[in-house]
A = this chain, B = another copy of it.
Amino acid sequence: MAGTALPSSRALARDLGLARNTVAETYGQLVAEGWLSARHGSGTWVTQRAGQLPSVGATAGRSAARGPRYDLRPGVPDVSAFPRAAWLAAARKALAAASAAELSYADPRGLPGLRTALAEYLARARGVAVTPDRVIVCAGFSQGMELVCEVLRARGSRELAVEAYGHPQHRGIAARSGLRVVPLPVDDRGADVAVLPGSRPPARQAGSPRLGAVLLTPAHQFPFGVILAPDRRRHVAEWAAATGAVVIEDDYDGEFRYDRQAVGALQPLAPESVVYAGTASKSLAPGLRLGWLVVPADLLDPIVDAKRTAGRLSSSLDQLALAELIRSGGYDRQVRRARLAYRRRRDRLIAALAAAVPDVRVAGIAAGLHALVRLPGGVAERDVVTRAAARGLAVHGLATTQAGEQDLGPALIVGYATPPPYAFSTAVARLCAALREVIGA
């Protein structure tokens, strides 16, 4: 509500288990975008504009546009590329064949047809060691993460190791489940898993509880975009198997690799220790709310039990349509098409930055839907974010993802997937202009 006072960044950071910097940067960004206003000495407030949520008028059916005019924040694909015709064709075919059981209160693990299709797809496209009975359909990665964290906490885990830079929402989910997040340093070979607590303990006794837990993005570290190095993959797999720990593999952007062969999942190195998590939010649309877990045998029942509780079942109609889309090859086609489109965007972004602001270094570009634009030393992320906001462009600073004390310098996380095609060039031009203004190239 407009006028509502927000908690101090210190208090909120404590509540959410985040670094204070992260919260402060997030507030700064929201101020820059006009959602919040800050007055020195009297805290941060929701502005009038933020109170005006999408108008719910009689013209119905279209939500009023909200937020920035141009959007280069990470995390959302170009939803204008959602394959509407293919989706509807799949929905029609699937609905015609759907059984009564599939339209009723359905299996909390997800519909059997979708779990079979996903198992086949994940084995083929991501190298996951999987049978359909290990697949659990969930409402996006967030719900999957929430289910796993709840189960880990109920089994006695107290902490979740996370990458020192990563999605603050995921750390928030862990914190709400009662897990303290412990940051692992990140370098150009991914998370430094050698520092995981108890990395060289005696072998686990059969049946002893899994207490250790770590969340990783092995295919394309968010936000740095590096691959978890092979020796580190082996190390974390062995560590988990030996200590009975659980690895949550967020296969972030796993389908969007541009410059070499796909990097497979970590999961097959230790299928009984790794919870593999994927989502249709990037390949299709976040509004679908469909994701999937592939889980070790001994976590299957507790996760399904958690999923069974109120309000956590996923829409059968969407599950039926997605299963048909995967079976028919339409999902693969959509991923290939999106990969090509995003690769072209990436190339255009790199070329534009090289021409306009040669002082910045672009990293993490071999895969995914975002690039890391490193700023020269002494340049404040916040200045660029503010200048961009003045031009109607939303972009995130690296600090919004920071979990701990490790500080890898100023950078922007440029999500180049979000704008619809007609807005992409202008968004990039405004980014370049904002950067030039601050860096003074």
**In this complex, what residue of B is CB-closest to A172?**
B310
Q: Are A285 and B53 in contact (CB under 8 A)?
A: no
Q: Are B327 and A315 in contact (CB under 8 A)?
A: no
Q: Are A115 and B56 in contact (CB under 8 A)?
A: yes
**In this complex, what residue of B is CB-closest to A138?**
B311
Q: Are B96 and A84 in contact (CB under 8 A)?
A: yes
Max chain B Cβ within 10 angstroms of own Cβ: one of A60, A64, A313: A60
Given contacts A76-B105, A104-B286, A143-B311, 13 further A-B contacts (CB under 8 A): A54-B101, A61-B113, A61-B320, A63-B107, A65-B101, A76-B104, A80-B100, A82-B103, A84-B96, A176-B309, A287-B316, A289-B313, A290-B315
Partner of A112, one of B60, B76, B87, B117: B60
Chain B residues with CB under 8 A of A62: 97, 99, 102, 112-113
Q: Are B63 and A99 in contact (CB under 8 A)?
A: yes
Q: Are B314 and A112 in contact (CB under 8 A)?
A: no
Give residues 68-123 of A contacting B (CB, 8 Å).
76, 79-80, 82, 84, 87-88, 91-92, 94-97, 99-107, 111-113, 115-117
A273 to B441, CA, bound (A): 61
Tell whether A227 is near chain B: CB-to-CB under 8 Å: no
A102 to B61, CA, bound (A): 9
Q: Are A101 and B317 in contact (CB under 8 A)?
A: no
**In this complex, what residue of B is CB-closest to A144?**
B311
Q: Are B63 and A112 in contact (CB under 8 A)?
A: yes
Per-residue CB proximity of A130-149 to B under 8 Å, as 1/0?
00110000111011111100
Please list 24 pairs of residues, one from A and one from B, whose beta carbons are closer than 8 Å in the complex, sorted by A's number: A1-B301, A56-B132, A56-B133, A60-B117, A61-B94, A61-B324, A62-B113, A63-B113, A65-B101, A80-B100, A84-B95, A84-B96, A88-B91, A88-B95, A91-B91, A103-B285, A140-B313, A143-B310, A145-B310, A146-B309, A287-B315, A288-B316, A311-B312, A314-B315
3 closest cross-chain pairs (CB), A and B: A143-B311, A287-B316, A61-B113
Tell whether A406 is near chain B: CB-to-CB under 8 Å: no
Tell whether A66 is near chain B: CB-to-CB under 8 Å: yes
**Range class of the A interface residue count:** 35 or more
Q: Are B310 and A173 in contact (CB under 8 A)?
A: yes
Chain B residues with CB under 8 A of A92: 88
Tell whether A426 is near chain B: CB-to-CB under 8 Å: no
A138 to B139, CA, bound (A): 13
Partner of A286, one of B56, B103, B107: B103
State how many angstroms separate the Cβ of A76 from the closest Cβ of chain B. Answer: 5
Q: A84-B96, A143-B310, A173-B310 are in contact. Are A317 and B287 (CB under 8 A)?
A: yes
